[in-house]
Amino acid sequence: MRKVTSEIPEEIIELERQAMRRVYEMEEKPASYCVVTYGCQMNVHDSEKLEGMLKEMGAAPAEDREHADFVIFNTCCVRDNAERRALGNVTWLKELKKTRPNLKVAVCGCMVQEPGMVERILKQYPFIDMAFGTHNLFHFPTLYEQMILEKRRIIEVVPDSDENIPEGLPVYRSSPYQAYLTIMYGCNNFCSYCIVPYVRGRERSRDPKRIYDEAKMLMDQGVQEITLLGQNVNSYGLDREDGVRFPELLESIDRLGVPRIRFMTSHPKDLSVDLMDVIAGGSHIAPAFHLPVQHGNDRILKSMNRRYTRDSYLEKVDMLRARIPDISLTTDLIVAYPGETEAEFEDTCSLVERVRYDSAFTFIYSPRTGTPAANMSGRIEEEEASRRIQKLIAIQKKITGENFAKYIGGTHHVLVEAPSKRNKDQMSGKDEYNITVNFDGPTSLIGKIVPVTITEAKETTLKGVLASEKAV
């Protein structure tokens, strides 16, 4: 077992708090900010931390990035498209800076942590004022202060470190009813196609007492739904000596009484019977499980370094459904992986038809420099890759429609989030299966979990009517 130093020393965090207080007193600091986030829920939660620090430093959220004095892009590099989109939007601000020379632009997150990216930023994006990576997000107040005082470009990207769990930083959560709670950082799996371990570092688990205390604080504040976050929550605690693993952690938070608990993401190889039993016996754990399979063929899975087989994955799916018959399963799927034959692609299609997921996130393989798969031969042509993904999407779309139709007539419990984007007279929220449900109702229901009887199934959402029961 690799022993880690679990937390950044308190005296270092205190220095960042002091920097926040100093910036707050500055007259020349940016008055408003806009944080633009790309990527996963981990990135969203990192942005909440950045916003928390910015608000502590006296900045207010802007209406949009065009009107902000400070714009920070929190980037993703899991796929080439996400990286190009982020850089494209950053470039757009170059023109805005010509008319607003005092505008400050920063880039942070996974993309900045990529090997060679800092050099690229320095050369191609001279108008960027600040850049930092995933491992020194906690150092943002000091970097921000330097940018203001020294009126120069600030670039700081540090390598992975065992001593890399910051505690006690402010967080600004956009919703008072839903909250992300990070339980661990990094990933040890090194899937052949994935850049995450290289930019997020090795696995580092937070102290279970700190997690429990944060969950209790959120519950006491009225949060209705907590999502526990990690690149692979199933391996939580393997780097610690206290013996607390994810099933025990999840069970302790369930006993707290938080109305609804979710978690993501789970690596299939680490899904244990103990965890299945905790979910099945839990009182507040949502019956929704995101279990990324990535592919349906054993040769491709081995090449991906996923460390499970098609049959072992299906066995765990069957075990989950035996314990939790109404569980909603979702997944991630990659097509056109290097060397993927037509027959191997069809194995993915047949696996989807066998499991019958409620939904799936489907992607064409995107080579990431520095990963083993990027150097593999057998690249699939774009036209063929597009054909394959369109076929897979069509299969999953049909299954989703059939699955959603089965929900009609049932009563789901919906955490009401906001008025529907398409119909402001309707309310919208997620049910226990993590499916968006729209229904007629007053705005006074926002932030409550209410029973909704499902009346109609759409392509990706459900429609219903408020049941006669009282809100829970």
Q: Residues 398, 421: one domain? A: no
C-alpha span between 305 and 337 (Å, rounded): 13
- The mean per-residue pLDDT over the stretch 53-59 comes to 97
- The mean per-residue pLDDT over the stretch 274-292 comes to 97
Q: Which residues pair with 131 in a beta bridge?
A: 107, 155
Is 4 a domain residue?
no
Q: Residues 387, 241: one domain? A: yes
pLDDT confidence of residue 369: 87
Domain holding 462, by residue range, is 411-466
Q: pLDDT-derived band of residue 314, with 50, 70 and 90 as boundaries?
A: very high
| Predicted TM-score of the model (pTM) | 0.92
> 84-93, 294-303, 373-382: which has the minimum mean pLDDT?
84-93
Q: Residues 122, 255: one domain? A: no
* Domain end among 388, 405, 422: 405
Is 173 a domain residue?
no
Is 127 a domain residue?
yes
Q: pLDDT-derived band of residue 83, with 50, 70 and 90 as boundaries?
A: confident
461, 436 Cβ separation under 8 angstroms: yes
- The mean per-residue pLDDT over the stretch 146-157 comes to 94
More confident call, 86 vs 394: 394
Q: Residues 263, 387: one domain? A: yes
Q: How many domains are there within the chain?
A: 3
On the question of pLDDT at 470 being above 60, the answer is no
pLDDT confidence of residue 125: 86
More confident call, 159 vs 253: 253
Q: Residues 145, 184: one domain? A: no
C-alpha span between 23 and 382 (Å, rounded): 50
- The mean per-residue pLDDT over the stretch 342-367 comes to 97
On the question of pLDDT at 162 being above 60, the answer is no
Q: Residues 184, 311: one domain? A: yes
Q: Residues 341, 220: one domain? A: yes
* Domain end among 125, 156, 187: 156
pLDDT confidence of residue 5: 45
Convert the pLDDT of each residue in 255-276 to its tens digit: 999 999 999 999 999 999 999 9
More confident call, 89 vs 413: 413
> 80-84, 369-373, 428-432, 468-472: which has the minimum mean pLDDT?
468-472
Q: Residues 106, 195: one domain? A: no
pLDDT confidence of residue 443: 94
Average pLDDT over the chain, rounded to an integer: 93
Q: Which residues pair with 338 in a beta bridge?
A: none
- The mean per-residue pLDDT over the stretch 32-46 comes to 92
Using left for φ > 0, alpha for ψ between -120 and 50, and beta otherwise, residue 260 falls in beta
Report for 65-79, 89-103, 433-447: range of highest mean pLDDT: 433-447
Span between the terminal Cα atoms of the chain, in Å:
44
Is 163 a domain residue?
no
Q: Residues 91, 55: one domain? A: yes
C-alpha span between 451 and 464 (Å, rounded): 10
CATH of the domain at 243: 3.80.30.20
Q: Residues 136, 88: one domain? A: yes
402-405, long-range: CB < 8 A, 24+ apart: 402/356, 403/356, 403/358, 404/358, 404/435, 404/457, 404/458, 404/462, 405/457
Convert the pLDDT of each residue in 360-379 to its tens digit: 999 999 999 889 999 999 99
pLDDT confidence of residue 3: 52
Convert the pLDDT of each residue in 422-456 to its tens digit: 888 899 999 999 999 999 999 999 999 999 999 99
On the question of pLDDT at 79 being above 80, the answer is no
Q: pLDDT-derived band of residue 6, with 50, 70 and 90 as boundaries?
A: low
Is 228 a domain residue?
yes
Residues 6+ apart with CB under 8 A from 123: none
Q: pLDDT-derived band of residue 161, with 50, 70 and 90 as boundaries?
A: low
C-alpha span between 33 and 51 (Å, rounded): 8
Q: Residues 119, 235: one domain? A: no
Is 172 a domain residue?
no
Is 169 a domain residue?
no
294, 304 Cβ separation under 8 angstroms: yes
More confident call, 83 vs 18: 18
Is 471 a domain residue?
no
Q: Residues 426, 391: one domain? A: no
Residue 269 φ then ψ, to 5°: -65, -25
Convert the pLDDT of each residue in 398-409 to its tens digit: 999 999 999 999
On the question of pLDDT at 76 being above 50, the answer is yes
More confident call, 85 vs 305: 305
More confident call, 22 vs 471: 22
